[in-house]
Structures are given as structure tokens and as C-alpha cells.
Structure 1
Amino acid sequence: MSTVSWITLRGLFGRRRFLLLLPLPLLLVLLAVLSRSLGVDADDWGPPVLVGLGLAVVLPVVALIVGTGVLGAEIDDGTVVHILTKPLPRWQIVLPKLAVAAGVSAVTVAVPLFVAGRLADSVRLGLSLAAASAVGALAYSALFLALSLLTRRPVLLGLVYVLIWEGLLSSFVSGTRVLSIQQYVIALADRLAPTELLHGDVSVPVAAVMTALISVGFTVLAVDRLRSFSVAGETS
């Protein structure tokens, strides 16, 4: 498993798509620093920067780029054949790749969210945002990793989920928020550091249970789907 993790990390950091991870987190920190330095009230800039940008855009987009790349890119260029020919149970391939995807996504997003949360309110808020975003990174990564095995357009479907389901529909149809990872992250962060800057629409128990179900469910689905791949890298 450590070999698979190392190969995944080397492949991820060796691709140009990794550079796509940098602009959004840097923009998040820049806006927070700029707002704080200009003396703008945290109640005015906190929600749009922390939630509107940080949790609604930076977290899912980073997880989408990484989650669809740790295995999807290998499927596209055919190098997945080298992994599939190894005498490894499929879960020993999926779990290390999920761990890398979740870990890279969590670090990339948690650090700028901590900085922004600290500038907006306190260290406690920064830590709660970092912790909740790490949990969200795991759920998003499991979802997007599974999508990379289920369809040839994982990025497109991932964007549909993030922009249409979590963004547009959740704003008008309250029922869709129960199936929104973004809402789970907000609820968990608000529970760890209650603040007026965060307004969750689902309860903490629902957020915790649904996050676990999504993480485990899509991981199991990814393992099962990978079993259907032939040595040629095509589904049987």
C-alpha cells in the first residue's frame, strides 16, 4: 500500500494539474488579509469569504481536481494497467489513493481556511474550519474518486454536483441540503466553534452520519468498480 501511495503522490505532483490547486487557496488568504487590513467588519466579509469562497468553491474544487486525478488520469493514459496487473486486492489500490487524495486536499484547503478563520474571528474558528474541511475533503475525495471510475467525464459531473446541486439547488430547494457535503462541513465547523459567521442548515448528527455514509459508500463503490476493470484498463 505504501508503494501505491508513493506512486500516486509522485504522479500527482508531477502533473501540471497540481498547479491548478494553488490559485484558489491563495485567493482565499489574499481576500481575508485584504479585508482585515482595510478594517472591513468581519460580519461583512466573513460569510462570503469563508463560506461563499472557502467552503463552497475552494474545498470542493480542490478535492475534485485531486480526487479525479489520483486514478482517473492513470485510466486515461493507460498506466493503470501496471497497477491492475499486480497481485493486489482492489481495496489495497483504492484506499491508498483515497488517502492521498483526501490528505492533499485537506492540507491544501485547511491551511488557508485556518488563516482566514483566524483573521475573521479567532484561532478556535480557524481550527474548526480546518478540521471540518479535512472531514469534508475525505467525503468529497471518496465521491470524486468513485466518479473517475464510473464515468469518462468525472470532472464535468463533479462540477454539476458542486455548482448545480450544492450551489444552485440548495439555495432554493431546502431538501437538497441534506445531501450536500458543503452543508455537513458548515454544520461541523459551527459546532466546533459556534459563530454568527457560519449558518448550517443541517443538524450535527445528520452531518456526521451522512459524511460517514458518503465516505464509506463511495469507497466501497470505487473498490467494486475497479474489480470490473480488465488488464486493458477497460470495464468488462
Structure 2
Amino acid sequence: MSTVGWITARGLFGRRRFLILLPLPLLLVGLAVLCRSLNVAPSDWGPAVLVGLGLAVVLPVVALVVGTGVLGAEIEDGTVVHILTKPLPRWQIVLPKLAVATAVSAATVAVPLFVAGLLADSVRLGLALAAASALGALAYSALFLALSLLTRRPVLLGLVYVLIWEGLLGRFADGTRVLSIQQWVIALADRMAPTDLLGTTVSVPVAAILTGLVAVGFTVLAIDRLRSFSVAGETS
């Protein structure tokens, strides 16, 4: 399992599309520093930067690119054949890749969110945002990893979920927020560090339970889907 994880991490950091993610976290930190240096009230910029940019854009986009890339890229270029020919249970392939996707996504997003939360309110808020975003990275990574095995266009479907379901519908239809990973992250962060800068109608127990269910459910689905792949990389 450690070998699969190491190969995945090496391949991920060697791809250009991972490097294009770096401007997003830098933009998040830059806006927070700018607003703080200009003495803008946190109530004026906090929700827009922390939630509107950090949790609604940076977290899901980073997780989407990384989550679909840890296995999807190997399926696209055919190198998945080398993994499928190894005498490994499929869970020993999926779990290390999920771990790498979660770790990379969490690290990429948690650090700038901590800095932004610190500048907006306190160390406690920064830590809450970092911890909640790590849990969100796990749920998003499991979802997008499964999508890379279910469809040939996982990025497109992932963007539909993030932009349409979480973004558009989540803004105007309160009922859809219950099935929004973004809202679960907000609820968990707000529980760890209550603040007026965050707000959601999703309860903490619901957010915690659904985060776990999504992470486990889509991981199991990915393992089951990978079992149906033939050596040629096509589903049987």
C-alpha cells in the first residue's frame, strides 16, 4: 500500500495541472492579508473570503483536480494497466490513492484557510476551518475518486455538483444544503469555533453523519467499480 501511495504522490506532483491550483490558495491568503492591512471590518470581508472563496471555491476545486487525478489520469493514459496486473486487492489500490488525494487537498487548503481565519477572527477559527476543511477534503476526494471510475468526464460532473448543486441551488433552495459537502464543512467549523462569519441551516449531527457516510460510501463504490475493470482498463 505504501508503494502505491508513493507512486501516486510522485505522479501527482509531477503533473502540471496540480501546479495550476497554487494561485487559488495564494489568492485566498492575499485577499485576507489585504483586507486586514486596510483595516476592513472582518464582518465585511470574512464571509466572502472564508466561505465564498475558501470553502465554496478553493476547497472543492482543489479536491476535484486532485481527487480525479490520482486514478483518473492513469486510466486516461493507460498506465493503470500496470497496477491492475499486480496481485493486489482493489482496496489496497483505492485506499492509498484516497489517502494521498485527501492529504494533498487538505494540506493545500487547510493552511491558507487557517491564515485567513486567524486574520479574520482568531487562532481558534483558523484551526476550526483547517480541521473542517480536512474532513471536507476526505468527503470530496472520495466522491471525485469514485466519479473518475464511473464516468469518462469526472471533472465535468464534479463541476456540475460544485457549481450547480452547491453553488446555484444551494444559494436559492435551502433543501439542497442538506446534501452539500460545503454546508457540512461550514457547520462543523462553526461548531468548533462559533462565529457570525459562518452560517448554515445544516445541523452539526447531520453534517458529521453525512460526511462519514459519503466518505465511506463512495470509497466502497470506488473499490467495487475498480474490481470491474479489465486489464485493458475498460469496465467489463
The aligned residue for residue 119 of structure 1 is 119
Q: Which runs of 5+ in 1 are unaligned?
A: none
- In structure 1, what is the equivalent of residue 31 of structure 2? 31
Which position in structure 2 is the counterpart of 1:6? 6
1:18 is displaced (CA, Å) by 1.1
- The AA in structure 2 aligned to 1:146 is A
* Whole-angstrom CA distance in 1 between matches of 2:201 and 2:164: 17
User: 1:119 corresponds to which letter in structure 2?
Assistant: L
The separation in 2 between residues aligned to 1:194 and 1:96, in whole angstroms, is: 34
Shift of 1:51: 0.1
Residue 138 of structure 2 aligns with an amino acid whose one-letter code is L
RMSD, matched Cα = 0.4
TM-score normalised to structure 1 length: 1.00
Q: Partner of 1:206 in structure 2?
A: 206
Q: Whole-Å Cα distance in 1 between the matches of residues 124 and 15 of structure 2?
A: 35
In structure 2, how many angstroms separate the alpha carbons of the residues matched to 1:61 and 1:224? 25
Give the aligned length. 236
Deviation at 1:140, TM superposition (A): 0.1
CA distance in 1, matches of 2:26, 2:54: 11
SS of 1:21's equivalent in the other structure is: coil
Match for residue 164 of structure 1? 164
Q: Distance in 2 between matches of 1:170 and 1:13?
A: 33
Q: Structure 2: which 5+ residue stretches go unaligned?
A: none
Identity %: 86
* Corresponding position of 1:191: 191
Following TM superposition, the consecutive aligned residue runs of length 4 or more in structure 1 with deviations greater than 6 angstroms are none
1:201, 1:71 → 2: CA distance?
35
Aligned to 2:108: 108
2:42 aligned residue: 42
Q: Counterpart in 2 of 1:182? A: 182
What are the within-5 Å matches in structure 2 for residues 224-235 of structure 1? 224-235=224-235
Query: 2:129 aligns to what?
Result: 129
Name the residue aligned to 2:143.
143
TM-score relative to the length of structure 2: 1.00
Q: Distance in 1 between matches of 2:75 and 2:206?
A: 35
Counterpart code for 2:195: T
Offset at residue 171 of structure 1 (A): 1.0
Query: Aligned AA for 2:137?
Result: A
Q: 1:200 deviation in Å?
A: 1.7
- SS of corresponding position for 1:71: helix
Query: What residue identity is the alignment partner of 1:160?
Result: V
Deviation at 1:172, TM superposition (A): 1.2
CA displacement at 1:8 relative to structure 2: 0.1
Q: How far 1:201 moved relative to its partner?
A: 1.6
Letter in 2 for 1:84: L
User: Which whole-Å deviations, capped at 9, do the CAs of 1:111-142 have from their partners, x for residues lacking one?
Assistant: 00000000000000000000000000000000
